[in-house]
Amino acid sequence: MKTVLKAFLGVIAAVVVTIAIVVPVAVVFTNKNQVQDQRPTFQLNDYLNGNFAYTSYILKWISDTEYLHKNEEGNVIRYNVDTKTSNDLILNTTFDEVKASFYLVSADAKFALLESNYSKLWRHSFTASYSIFDLKSRVFVTNANLPQEIQYISWAPVG
């Protein structure tokens, strides 16, 4: 009985090994009729030689269907993913007026903080000057009375 069991297990092992070899070979040869990928390939040397570089796309979601993004021209745009439309929220000339490097839009999208005069203090702390920009009338709020050096500023979560 033991020899019959050994013979039976040997046959099953041979069938499993045969299937493990035949199935991948069949898959490889039947996929040759499919369209080959025409995209260019790259190697590690392409990256090291500077022939290939990544680009990043930094955005901030402001609702389920809209996000803010600073484009190549320096304009902050609001992009709607449902309608695939965009509009300029803050122009690059507005950034240039106060030499701003960063922006923060209020939750109701009526105002924006423009950060300028960034000065690093230690590790993660810094001071900066901020200007408030009215997005509806496209002018700076002049009666804000903000101090020249601010360490932390933020909009309220609503309104």
Could you give the CA distance from residue 126 to residue 119 in angstroms, rounded to a whole number? 6
The pLDDT of residue 32 is above 80: no
Is 111 in contact with 133 (CB distance < 8 Å)? yes
The pLDDT of residue 146 is above 80: yes
Confidence tier at 47 by pLDDT (50, 70, 90): confident
Q: Mean pLDDT, to the nearest integer, of 71-76?
A: 89
Structure confidence by residue, pLDDT tens digits, 7-18? 888 889 888 889
Q: How far is CA 11 from CA 1, 7, 8, 25, 130, in A?
A: 16, 6, 5, 21, 80
- Token look-up 């920009």 returns 133
The secondary structure of residue 34, as a DSSP letter, is S
Structure confidence by residue, pLDDT tens digits, 104-135? 999 888 999 999 989 999 888 999 999 999 99
Is 87 in contact with 78 (CB distance < 8 Å)? yes
Listed residue (138, 125, 56) closest to 89, CA to CA: 138
